[in-house]
Amino acid sequence: MPKLVLGLYFLSALCSASPSWVKPVKHLNAQEKLNFWTGFSLFRSPWVAAPASTKGRDGLGPLYNARSCDACHHNGAHGKLPNAGFGLVVRLGLTNRAAALPSYGEQLQTLSIDSVTHANSVAPEAQIELQWQQVTLSIGQQRFKLKTPILKKSQLGYGPWPTNSAVSLRLAPALFGLGDIERVSSAEILRGADPEDTDGNGISGKANKVLNRESGQLEVGRFGYKAEQPNLRQQVAAAFHQDIGITSWLYPKQNCTASQTACLNADTGNSTQEQVEITREKLQLVAQFNAFLRPAYSSKPASPAGEQLFNTVGCQLCHSAFSQINVYSNLLLHDLGAELGDHRPVSLATGQEWRTSPLRGIARKLKRQPVRLLHDGRAGSVEDAILWHGGEASETRANFLALADQQKHALIQFISSL
What pLDDT digit, counting tens, does each position of 213-270 carry?
999 999 999 999 999 999 999 999 999 999 999 999 999 999 999 999 999 999 999 9
User: Considering only CA atoms, which of 178, 243, 220 is closest in space to residue 349?
Assistant: 220
> Is the backbone peptide bond immediately before 19 cis, with ω within 30 degrees of 0?
no
What is the reported pLDDT for 116?
80
What is the reported pLDDT for 48?
96
How open is the CA angle 331-352-361, to the nearest 5 degrees?
35
Q: What is the pLDDT of residues 51-90, one digit of tens each?
A: 988 888 999 999 999 999 999 999 999 998 876 557 899 9
User: Considering only CA atoms, which of 347, 351, 317 is closest in space to residue 337?
Assistant: 351
What is the reported pLDDT for 286?
99
What is the reported pLDDT for 6?
43
- The answer to whether 170 and 376 have CB atoms below 8 angstroms apart is yes
- The answer to whether 411 and 314 have CB atoms below 8 angstroms apart is no
Q: What is the pLDDT of residues 288-299, one digit of tens each?
A: 999 999 999 877
Q: Taking residues 110-120, report their average pLDDT.
A: 85
Q: Give dist(CA 345, CA 95) in Å, integer.
A: 8
Ranking 301-305, 344-348, 390-394 by mean pLDDT, the lowest is 301-305
Q: What is the pLDDT of residues 188-204, one digit of tens each?
A: 999 999 999 999 999 99
What is the reported pLDDT for 18?
56
What is the reported pLDDT for 10?
45
What is the reported pLDDT for 8?
46
Q: Give dist(CA 218, CA 88) in Å, integer.
A: 28
Ranking 114-128, 225-239, 245-259, 376-390 by mean pLDDT, the lowest is 114-128
- The rounded percent of the chain whose pLDDT value lies above 70 is 94
Q: Taking residues 277-283, report their average pLDDT.
A: 98
- The rounded percent of the chain whose pLDDT value lies above 90 is 86
Torsion of CA 327, 331, 334, 336, to 10 degrees: 40
Q: Give dist(CA 203, CA 174) in Å, integer.
A: 26
Q: What is the pLDDT of residues 93-109, one digit of tens each?
A: 999 999 999 999 999 99
Residue 388 has pLDDT above 90, yes or no: yes
Torsion of CA 158, 59, 54, 78, to 10 degrees: 90
What is the reported pLDDT for 85?
57
Question: Which residues fall within 8 angstroms of residue 343, CB to CB, at 6 or more apart?
Answer: 95, 96, 166, 351
Q: Taking residues 374-378, report their average pLDDT.
A: 97
User: Considering only CA atoms, which of 304, 322, 302 is closest in space to residue 312?
Assistant: 304
Residue 14 has pLDDT above 80, yes or no: no
Q: What is the pLDDT of residues 397-412, one digit of tens each?
A: 999 999 999 999 999 9
- The answer to whether 107 and 89 have CB atoms below 8 angstroms apart is yes
Backbone angles phi, psi at 191, to 5 degrees: -65, -25
What is the reported pLDDT for 53?
84
Residue 320 has pLDDT above 50, yes or no: yes
What is the reported pLDDT for 2?
46
Neighbours of 54 (CB within 10 A): 13
- Calculate the alpha carbon distances from 314 to 48, 196, 310, 399 in Å: 49, 19, 6, 8
* Residues paired with 334 in a beta bridge: 354
E strand spans, 54-181: 63-64, 88-94, 107-108, 111-112, 127-139, 142-154, 165-171
Q: Give dist(CA 88, CA 33) in Å, integer.
A: 30
What is the reported pLDDT for 83?
62
The secondary structure of residue 196, as a DSSP letter, is T
Greatest mean pLDDT range, 85-89, 205-209, 321-325: 205-209
- Average pLDDT score, the chain: 93
Q: What is the pLDDT of residues 325-370, one digit of tens each?
A: 999 999 999 999 999 999 999 999 999 999 999 999 999 999 988 9
Residue 183 has pLDDT above 70, yes or no: yes
Q: Give dist(CA 29, CA 289) in Å, integer.
A: 14
Q: Give dist(CA 244, CA 282) in Å, integer.
A: 15
Q: Give dist(CA 49, CA 61) in Å, integer.
A: 7
- The answer to whether 3 and 278 have CB atoms below 8 angstroms apart is no
What is the reported pLDDT for 84?
52
Q: Give dist(CA 106, CA 94) in Å, integer.
A: 10
